[in-house]
Structure 1
Amino acid sequence: MRFLLDNWYLILTALVSGGLLLWPVIRGGAGGGGGVSTAEAVRLINREKGVLIDVREPAEFAAGHAVGARNVPLSQIEAATNLPANKALPLLVLCATGARAGRAVALLKKRGYENTQVVAGGLAAWREANLPTETAA
């Protein structure tokens, strides 16, 4: 007990540093897992038949989107009919920067799509990784 009283500042430092190390895990767990990298998204698409879902509005989607992405705007996601029938397939949700995608993941999980993840950084990260994009004709 004497040790604890004499070294309270060391114990406090250890607790604070542990908390700071755990913070990303705690924060990511509440918001859909923090997202997968673009490289992991491509792996899921190629090896596990993952489906890329772009939740931006149609005008944004038409201006440029990841090749092969399906446009399901966030405002329509609860009633969308163009989602895969197989709810076990990985769904990789993408928006401009990742903010809307987090909300979309929560809505998709409510619909039974448990294998759903945000593509971290959104379309900006996709482009930064030099992955293919296209515009609507």
Structure 2
Amino acid sequence: MLHLATRRLLPAAGALALAASLTACGGGPGDDAPTDASQEEFCSMLLDERGYLTGTDLNVDDVNAWAEDLAEVGTPEGLDGDAREGFEIFVNELADASEDDIEDSADGPKVSDDDYDKVQAFVNSDTVAQCAPDPSAEAPSDAPS
């Protein structure tokens, strides 16, 4: 059984795999995303709390809408450099995704190594790490109440 924190991060991880498998085309909504989002707003959108990716099948319209919302919220102030560029690439690729891209996503990354490294910098950033739920807050207590 997956830990609740892991299950909550799966939508973002699945979308990362999809974004990495798409062909970079440059430009898009991520380029103009704000840089002053609250950490709470950012995490809420990144963790797909609106439920865009909750079904068993990826729907391209939902993936595109999620990307647009991510771009609208933007990132917190502390995310910069390669990690910010990785966010932009991530959002732009999801916003441009097509049904064919989703079907072909298992074929592996189609972005440049440089872009892939930037997306990895975003995913591995402290900003994204702060979105992970605290496992101790969600774990059932063995102590009697």
More strand by share: 1
More helix by share: 2
Whether TM-score is above 0.5 comes out as no
TM-score (norm 2): 0.27
Higher-RCO chain (CA-CA 8 Å, sequence separation at least 6): 2
| Pair member with larger Rg | 1
